[in-house]
Structure 1
Amino acid sequence: MTKFYEPIAQWILCQIVLATIWQTELQAQPARVSGVISHVALFRDQAKVTRDLEIPASAEATTLRVIELPPSFLPGSEQITTSAGVRVLSRRLVTLTPEESQSQHDNTAEQQSANLLGSLNDQRRSLEMQLTLIAQQLATMERLLQFSAKEAGNGLQNGTLQSETVEHLSEYGLGKQNELLHQQIELSSQLEKIQLTISQTQKSIENDIEPTRYSEYQLEIQVQGLPQSRAQIWISYTVGNCSWQPYYRLYANSESSEYELKFGAAVIQETGEDWPNVALEVAGVSPNASSTIPVLVPLRASVSEFGTKMNEFDLAGRSMSLPRESMDAVEDDLNLDGNISEIELQRDVALNARASSLQSWEIETAESHLRAMASDGIEYADAQVYKVENAVSVASQPTTQMITVRDAILPGEVHYVVTPLLSSFAYREVKLLNTSDIGLIAGPVSISLDGRAVGRTMLPATASGQPLVIGLGADQQLRTRRELVDKSHEIQGGNAIETFRYRIVVANFKPDTVSLRVMDRMPQSSENEALTISIKDSLPALSEDREFHRLHSRSGILRWDVDVPARRFGESAFDILYTFTAMHDRNQSIFIDSNADRTQQDLFNHESSGMGGMGGMGGGMMGGGLF
């Protein structure tokens, strides 16, 4: 008897062992999770995406496989943060086999569209069958009514009419026929809608030429959770194929001293994953930007009898272009696994090279007064991070998406600037104060005044609490012209003195007095001993604005601050008269350098010195570099 049960016992034991092995293998398989994208920090050419994961309460170690990473995922960028009490025991990137990669697409949008199409076709077939059945029932009702009418006729002829039976039969047939007709109309309408939806779905599938793709990587992590409660894990990673640019809209009202500034982001998002209902931040900095103070190294100098001095334009161009090129090279060489110390070293080399070039320019050029800012003040002043106030959804698509970042009401003061050498009209400028709690990144701004579009310009990078100037376009009610009214030449010993007298005429067609800044210039000498140029007289007096004098005292730029009374034009137009003299060797003559390259370099230096922006030469109130 015992021998009879031995095979059965062995079989049962074998099944228990196999079940235990299968259960162990199942437990060893990592749980496949994708999580929920909750936060995105969008940089100029990358984004840092954060997914939220929840792990069940357990004292045992849990292995998770994070799937559906986008194709633009940058391996090595992943970071893991956990809630209190949770430990990350290990993590690794898993490279998928081609078969595993293909299996990721089972639940993609294409499969969902195919499933939807199958469901719609099932509904279509069901409706068609119901309509066929109704058509058969209507035919039956029609025959019933014909039979009832025929029987009623025969009964009348034979004198055997059963009126009550015929009446009930007719009422039933007509009522049923009416009910079936209503059902037929309703089902036909449903069928028409289903067929339209099927057609649209088929077109959508046909237009989806590029199927959804995922990264060839998956992230596997082993965590020690909490025995009593669920725990949170946040997975952050960097993706490419995305960027953003700032844009602004400024709304001005001539009757108000407050100006509405709308700040938005033009986002290009082609990462391969959608960002639905996320907390979004846009940043002007690189995710790899160093937080360490740059190191200044000694400047080595020597003399050489046969040294060759560089052309002034070459020096100026090199000093300004070197930092951007060098820093571009540093950023291009950055990689997520790179040595941070090496990255900072390359940055400091580039910054010191730029500084050395600038100081070389200062020593070798004939200029005696130069002004410049460090390269980060010029090119990296837009290192700001902005949090979008409300949750937004950003789809992965090839077209630009416009997202509102912030609205601000800024106080401002309007003034008028006339520059008769450059324009016959006065230009309006508003000096705004950035009273918001954030700095403004440099970007294009579209301007509207009293509901009319007046143009576009560039808004300079502006810190919180810093003023900036924005142009509001020309005003045709203020006109100006410039006249040379007298010129003389005399000899004093070995010198020649030339005198030039000018009149600036301003016409005000407005019904009110207008405060104007009138701008002009006289020649500037780069060879102080050979040519001396100075103002002889001016009526009215030149502006005493301290900031203007600090910025332009050696540039030859002149400014008058005047109040032009209402209706002053024609013979009663407002006049400004001034005289300057030029003294030089009697055997020489004055030469004006009108070289376009030099003009371009002067404008570039003006922007690079932190005085740029739409403010132009408007009294030194220029852009965001006002300090």
Structure 2
Amino acid sequence: MKSFRVIWILVFSLGIPALGTSELKTDGGKITKVTVYRGQALVTRQIHAELPQGTAELVAGHLPEHIIPESLFAQTQTHLKILSVRYRQRAVREDTREEVKALDQQIRTLEQTLHENTALTEHLAGQWTLYENLKDFSLEAKKADLGQGTLTYEPIKNLAEMIESKGLVYLDKRLELEKNHRDLKEELDLVQRQRNAMTAHASRTEREAVIYVQCTQPGPAILELNYLVRHAQWQQQYNLRALPDDARVSVEYHAVVNQNSGEDWQGVSVSLSTAEPTMASSAPVLAPVRVGLRASHRPQQSQNQAAVPMEQIKQNFFSRRQNSKQGLAANGILNALAEDNQLLFLNNDTSQVQQMQQAIDDIMRIEGISVTYELPGKLTLPSRDDQQLVNITTMTSPAEFTLIASPLLTDYVYLQADVHNNSQTVFLPGPASVFKNNQFVGQSEVPLVTIGETFTAGFGTDSQVHVAHALNHKKTRIQGGNRIDTFEYRMVLDNYKTTPVKLRLLDRLPYSDDSSIKIELTETHPALSPDDTYVKTSQKKGILQWDLTLDPHTIEDKAQEISYTYTMEYDKNMQIHSTPEE
């Protein structure tokens, strides 16, 4: 393996070649690997050249339209030294890309064929005019013969048959030429549209990198030219396939990639990254922030306005992230954003500050993670608007399936599974197409899942399990100045399956932080779930949870029943109303 050293170069749009150094044209090299970021891509070209001893200027052309010139840098073998790299562009008569040249040649061929077809059509029309004149001449001759009494049958018959025969030949030929004309026009229009799509934003400009090198050993050499391009993007998406009978879930992790950089990537190694490419070498400098006082307008703020600082701090976060790539060059902007964020924390109350900090933590948990996926094999990604689906990884994991029933919300019973990420890949948040037993059931979302973490995925409804929810009885009595309401609820679960199923049943009773309202669960059958997470969290807020196993084919009089009773005691002169969660 040859060792490489990376040399970062200051790139100039215009440069003066070294005196006494001739330019060595190359074929531009071959793209060998690409790392696609969010909105950009790092492209690596491998250039083979025959170098003389001493200094030389290598010209690598056919650089893409959307290159970022200041990102150019070179890697080289140990016996070579990069002295400089500069970027230049020059006007050319026509697009120099090979694929565009091929389309141009195809257009010229079609236009010539179309011209020949038109000439044949015009020639055929001229020939038919001669036969039309011959027909008119025959009619005039027939009239003259009739007048002189010399009309003979055979010559007239032969002439009529000849005209009819020629007319049929002309008709067939005309129809054939018209069809050829239509086909050629359609093909020409298609090729022209393809060329227009390929060159929609292109200019007739040749973009080149001029690499000034010093070679201590003459002979063949290999260089790597690297640069960033715009208009390259990728987004993650998933296929989740559940096989409940086998107690497993398959996770297909895909990326939708598209690039319109102006060059095709053919047979290259591709990596996908969430990192932010940066060319900043100097860190920004933190400036002091001086504060003063002014009249407060807090009493006029409403609850709706309380959400505004959170939205602003999210915008500041993304702006900060973009400008951070420039380092010291964006020093003023970064300090201004930091000042805005600090003022938001200084001027808002405790609850708002906690909400803002939680929002920042949530963003950082998702946006702050940096991963790189190395895609297997070699891929071809042409420069166009189309999107291409590539596989990042596929994982099959044992899964624990549970049915979820919330009859207070819906009559449907849903299937969900706890899926363990047993791969060596971090799953980023993204949309998922969900399948159960190879049948599409809907769309969902996959959260951020780190290696070894478990996430919950839904797999649609199960029509073979039914749940009914009803208020059996309500009783009200007055005790002193208080009103006491007693509620008795009953739920019935039917399992039409021939196998036992696990089911989580969820219901609720109201809860309150107001000590003047007393709410008590007095009876439940069977007992509520002993799950630690449930007991420590949602049970305290009135959520009722039963983790059940339904026996096979338990329907009608064999159906499983759930019942519970609770009481509410409050001032008889007051009325219950809902209060929003804080």
TM-score normalised by the chain length of structure 2: 0.72
Q: Secondary structure at the match of 1:272?
A: coil
Match of 1:219 among 200, 209, 214: 209
Q: Secondary structure at the match of 1:255?
A: helix
Amino acid at match of 1:539: H
**Which ranges of structure 2 fall in alignment gaps of 5 or more residues?**
1-17, 114-180
Match of 2:495 among 493, 500, 508: 508
Match of 1:577 among 543, 546, 563: 563
> Counterpart in 1 of 2:543?
557
Is the strand fraction higher in 1 or 2?
A: 2
Matched, 1:454 2:441: yes
Q: Is the 8 A contact 1:319 1:361 kept in 2?
A: no
Supply the distance in 2 between the matched residues of 1:257 and 1:354 (Cα, whole angstroms): 49
Report the CA distance between 1:551 and its aligned residue: 3.8
Supply the RMSD in Å over aligned alpha carbons: 4.2
Q: Is the 8 A contact 2:237 2:431 kept in 1?
A: yes
- Could you say if the C-alpha distance between residues 314 and 586 of structure 1 is closer, same or farther in structure 2, counting changes exceeding 3 Å? farther
Matched, 1:339 2:326: no
Q: Is the 8 A contact 1:261 1:407 kept in 2?
A: yes
Report the CA distance between 1:288 and its aligned residue: 4.3
- Could you say if the C-alpha distance between residues 271 and 451 of structure 1 is closer, same or farther in structure 2, counting changes exceeding 3 Å? same
Supply the distance in 2 between the matched residues of 1:107 and 1:270 (Cα, whole angstroms): 14
Match of 2:509 among 512, 518, 522: 522
Q: Secondary structure at the match of 2:534?
A: helix
Q: Is the 8 A contact 2:43 2:228 kept in 1?
A: yes
Matched, 1:280 2:266: no
Supply the distance in 2 between the matched residues of 1:226 and 1:553 (Cα, whole angstroms): 77
Report the CA distance between 1:283 and its aligned residue: 2.3
Q: Secondary structure at the match of 2:68?
A: coil
Report the CA distance between 1:276 and its aligned residue: 0.5
Q: Deviations 1:543-570 (Å, cap 9, x if unpaired)?
A: 1111223442443322111122222222
> Counterpart in 2 of 1:416?
403
Q: Secondary structure at the match of 1:75?
A: strand
Q: Deviations 1:182-225 (Å, cap 9, x if unpaired)?
A: xxxxxxxxxxxxx9x99998566433225644667533221223
> Counterpart in 1 of 2:314?
324
> Counterpart in 2 of 1:56?
50
Report the CA distance between 1:477 and its aligned residue: 0.9
Match of 1:430 among 401, 410, 417: 417
Report the CA distance between 1:435 and its aligned residue: 0.5
> Counterpart in 2 of 1:126?
none
Q: Is the 8 A contact 1:434 1:462 kept in 2?
A: yes
Q: Report the more deviating stretch, 429-438 or 207-216.
A: 207-216
Q: Report the more deviating stretch, 547-556 or 508-517.
A: 547-556
Amino acid at match of 2:546: W
Q: Is the 8 A contact 1:92 1:220 kept in 2?
A: yes
> Counterpart in 2 of 1:46?
40
> Counterpart in 1 of 2:25?
31
- Could you say if the C-alpha distance between residues 78 and 511 of structure 1 is closer, same or farther in structure 2, counting changes exceeding 3 Å? same
- Could you say if the C-alpha distance between residues 272 and 575 of structure 1 is closer, same or farther in structure 2, counting changes exceeding 3 Å? same
Amino acid at match of 1:417: I
- Could you say if the C-alpha distance between residues 31 and 434 of structure 1 is closer, same or farther in structure 2, counting changes exceeding 3 Å? same
- Could you say if the C-alpha distance between residues 228 and 205 of structure 1 is closer, same or farther in structure 2, counting changes exceeding 3 Å? same
Q: Is the 8 A contact 2:107 2:191 kept in 1?
A: no
Q: Is the 8 A contact 2:66 2:231 kept in 1?
A: yes
Supply the distance in 2 between the matched residues of 1:326 and 1:363 (Cα, whole angstroms): 15
- Could you say if the C-alpha distance between residues 306 and 494 of structure 1 is closer, same or farther in structure 2, counting changes exceeding 3 Å? farther
Supply the distance in 1 between the matched residues of 2:484 and 2:421 (Cα, whole angstroms): 49
Supply the distance in 2 between the matched residues of 1:48 and 1:528 (Cα, whole angstroms): 60
Amino acid at match of 1:462: V
Q: What is the 5 A alignment of 1:197-346?
A: 205-207=191-193, 208-210=195-197, 212=199, 213=202, 217-227=207-217, 230-288=220-278, 307-308=298-299, 310-312=301-303, 314-315=305-306, 317-318=307-308, 320-331=310-321, 333=323, 339=329
TM-score normalised by the chain length of structure 1: 0.67
Report the CA distance between 1:441 and its aligned residue: 1.3
Q: Is the 8 A contact 2:404 2:503 kept in 1?
A: yes
- Could you say if the C-alpha distance between residues 67 and 248 of structure 1 is closer, same or farther in structure 2, counting changes exceeding 3 Å? same
Q: Is the 8 A contact 2:466 2:495 kept in 1?
A: yes
Amino acid at match of 1:516: L
Q: Deviations 1:281-305 (Å, cap 9, x if unpaired)?
A: 122343349999xx9x99x9x9x99
Report the CA distance between 1:362 and its aligned residue: 5.7
The alignment of Structure 1 onto Structure 2 pairs a total of residues equal to 488
Supply the distance in 1 between the matched residues of 2:214 and 2:530 (Cα, whole angstroms): 72
Report the CA distance between 1:263 and its aligned residue: 1.6
- Could you say if the C-alpha distance between residues 364 and 237 of structure 1 is closer, same or farther in structure 2, counting changes exceeding 3 Å? closer
Report the CA distance between 1:346 and its aligned residue: 6.8
- Could you say if the C-alpha distance between residues 479 and 275 of structure 1 is closer, same or farther in structure 2, counting changes exceeding 3 Å? same
Report the CA distance between 1:343 and its aligned residue: 7.5
Supply the distance in 2 between the matched residues of 1:345 and 1:83 (Cα, whole angstroms): 42
Match of 2:69 among 67, 75, 83: 75
> Counterpart in 2 of 1:128?
none
> Counterpart in 1 of 2:85?
91
Report the CA distance between 1:115 and its aligned residue: 5.1
- Could you say if the C-alpha distance between residues 116 and 480 of structure 1 is closer, same or farther in structure 2, counting changes exceeding 3 Å? closer
Q: Is the 8 A contact 1:257 1:412 kept in 2?
A: yes
Q: Secondary structure at the match of 1:267?
A: strand
